[in-house]
Amino acid sequence: MNPLPMILADLRGLRWNAVVVVVLVAVAVAVGIALGAQERAFRHASARAADDFPLLIGAAGSNTQLVLTSVYLRLEALPLMNGAALARLGTDERVAAVAPIAFGDVVAGHPVIGTTAAFAGRWGRLAPIEGRMFAAENEAVIGSDARLAIGDDLKPSHGHAGAVWPTDLGHVGTEEAAHVHAGAHYKVVGRLAPTGGPWDRAVIVPVETVWETHGLGNGHAPGIERIGPPFDAATVPDVPAIVVKPKSFAAAYQLRGEWRRGVTQALFPAEVLVELHVALGDVQQILLVASALDDGLVFLAVTALLVTVVGLRRRRYAVLRALGAPQSFVLATVWGAAAVLMVAGASLGLGLGWGAAIAVSQLIAGDTGLAVPVTIGAPEILWAGAVALAGSLFALIPAWVAGRGSVIDGLSS
């Protein structure tokens, strides 16, 4: 038995109906694929961006905002904590390294972040791919995606007006132009390797430069012009966030316990991410259920369409049976054509879903600076396969309808 020529003939005869079915199934599949792939990629990317922030300490307040601002540079005004903490942590024997993070300025759409050279280089993990690390006040290194060049002389403006789109980077907006810090400037001396996070868009300067730009001194004893730790407990300004690299897990938990009392909070960014992912996960579940319902509705619509087509082709299948075709031949013909459409739709949906996930990644990267590399993995392929399988099972309905009924009635229809 070889129903393949009839399957191809049926598909050819469907013309635009076949295209409609494939597109409907493809869109239904693509929604599920895009949701799954995007969500997984976003979780990975957001977790990776937080890898360089073992322990964050800030003033008591929203832990989520502390992480969003420090790690993801979603810049909002954070409550400040006493800068003396920097000196205290710098001498704590459980701490391998400590760095302040200071925000508040913008250059050509790029956020300006003040910190130490050690943390800018992610404590030795990240080296400049061009030029060198800043070594003095008024020097800056730029992230890999910054639309600036080594040698640029930058004039910072007060504010958080970061660029929303990558294409806006490198342009000075109206708001930014109205709040330029008089007399302040940085010279770009290096470009850092990519981190895959929002810091790739930042202009990173010595924290002393940020403090001085805002008239807060340089955090060192009078007369000392160097940059970097140790900081002077008596003169160091209040800071919005401190990154701490503990020497051990035990030290990390001890420090977190000690600094999350009273006027300060200490947290592992992963904790906040887990909370966010749990919330995202709930939404994800709802979206996946909605997507599955969507698929079910599409299957019903496609099945109804195919049953109608089979009804219109009643005579064709009656002729086959009159010529001696067993019911199984007719069933295989109708099911085969429908299954081909379902599999084609699911395969196209896999590609479309991947494309959609990449497009959403571009939007997220444009909005957050977070590189979200989307990959199509086993879950997406399994999803597409499950949809194709379910669709093929639905396709048995028109096939069963086609194989039933009187041949004579079919011949005279």
Partner 1 sequence: MPTSAAPAEPAAADGPRAAALRLDGVVVEHRRGREPPFRALDIESLEVPPGARVGFAGPSGAGKSTLLHVVAGLAVPSTGRVAWGDTRLDTLGEAAHGRWRRATIGFVFQDFHLVDELTVRDNVLMPARFGRIADRQALHARADALIARMGLDDPRRRAAKLSRGERQRVAVARALLLGPRLILADEPTASLDAEAGRAVAGLLVDAAREHGATLLVVAHDPALLERLDTVHRLAGGRLIAEERR
Applying CB under 8 A, the residues found at the interface with partner 1 are: 1-3, 5-6, 8-10, 12-13, 315-316, 319-327, 329, 407-408, 411
Instruction: Write down the residue that tokens 């009392």 correspond to.
Output: 261
The minimum distance between CB 339 and partner 1, in angstroms, equals 18
Per the structure block, which two tokens stand in for 315?
């005579």
Cβ–Cβ < 8 Å for 398, 309 = yes
Closer of 106 and 334 to partner 1 (Cβ)? 334
Please confirm whether the linkage preceding 379 is cis (ω < 30° from 0).
no
Amino acid at 246: P
C-alpha to C-alpha distance for 210 and 396, rounded to whole angstroms = 69
CB of 393 to partner 1, least distance (A): 24
Separation between Cα atoms, residue 96 and residue 94, nearest integer Å: 7
* Tokens describing residue 331: 């069933």
CB of 306 to partner 1, least distance (A): 17
- For partner 1, which is the closer residue by CB, 237 or 410? 410
65: which residues sit within 8 A by CB, 6+ positions away?
76, 78
Closer by beta carbon to partner 1, 349 or else 410: 410
The set of long-range contacts for 267-272, using a CB threshold of 8 Å and a minimum separation of 24, is 267/55, 267/56, 267/63, 267/66, 267/67, 268/54, 268/55, 268/56, 269/50, 269/53, 269/56, 269/67, 269/70, 269/71, 270/47, 270/50, 271/63, 272/63, 272/64, 272/66, 272/67
CB of 68 to partner 1, least distance (A): 60
Per the CB < 8 A criterion, the answer to whether 231 and 219 are in contact is yes
5, containing H or E segment: helix 4-14
Closest to partner 1 by CB, 1 or 182: 1
| Contact call for residues 197 and 48 (beta carbons, < 8 A) | yes
Q: Which amino acid appears at position 25 of this protein? A: V
Which of 188/344 has CB closer to partner 1? Answer: 344
Q: Which is nearer to partner 1, 14 or 339 (CB)?
A: 14
Q: Smallest distance, Å, CB 10 to partner 1? A: 8
CB 319 → partner 1: shortest distance, Å? 4
Select 8 or 60, whichever has its Cβ closest to partner 1.
8
State residue 206 phi and psi, 5-degree precision. -60, 140
35, 28, 33: which is closest to 296 by C-alpha?
A: 28
* Closest separation in Å from C-beta 403 to partner 1: 11
Nearer to partner 1, 57 or 332 (CB): 332
Smallest separation, CB 345 to partner 1 (Å): 21
CA dist 271 and 37 (Å) reads 23
Q: To the nearest whole angstrom, how small is the minimum distance from the Cβ of residue 285 to partner 1?
A: 45
Is 3 or 349 the residue whose CB approaches partner 1 more closely?
Answer: 3
